[in-house]
Structure 1
């Protein structure tokens, strides 16, 4: 009787196993995808933070005018509108504006590095060819 066993595959060495795993990680492009995902999260977080930055309005009131209006029984809100004026509006500071612009502008560089990373899987490098 003859045995119909399939031929046994040769066992891979530890080095060959690591190389196989490395090629799999390279094929999946895990690290570049992770970096791109983290960068996208960073851009989203910074832009959200910047948009939600509070704008402060600084007003200055003339106390003499306010006292006269309150003695004349003018309602407080109306007296504030008459006696107070906006002196300064504090919005997004320029330093933060430059930070957000730099982070968002660098997205093109990060995406370019992602698309150009990894090896070309369609071509095989021939060791006999030289540059």
Structure 2
């Protein structure tokens, strides 16, 4: 029984598919089978590498978005604290001004009022 030509072999045929025909035919059939398996394995490895690359790109994009969000939150926090600080400064200046005005008014009196003596 003569070996079938390589073009008629099944896609996933192993080296034992070709029966008879001498050792050279089975050798070449085995080589073709190994080449197909190697190509399929390389395609699987490339697909897996592409999946990992895509996953890494998504991870990096997500971390960049988180970083931007944290920067915005920090900026808002700093702005809010600056506003609070300015408000506290203004309140302190106002209170200081009222206190100074009360001291001046009190210093301008000749006799202290009776309510202050009770304290």
Bucket of the pairwise TM-score, normalised by the shorter protein: 0.3 to 0.5
Higher-strand-fraction structure = 1
Which structure carries more relative contact order (alpha carbon 8 Å, separation 6+)?
1
Structure exhibiting the larger radius of gyration computed from Cα positions:
2
TM-score when normalising by structure 2? 0.37
The structure with the greater share of residues assigned to helix is: 2
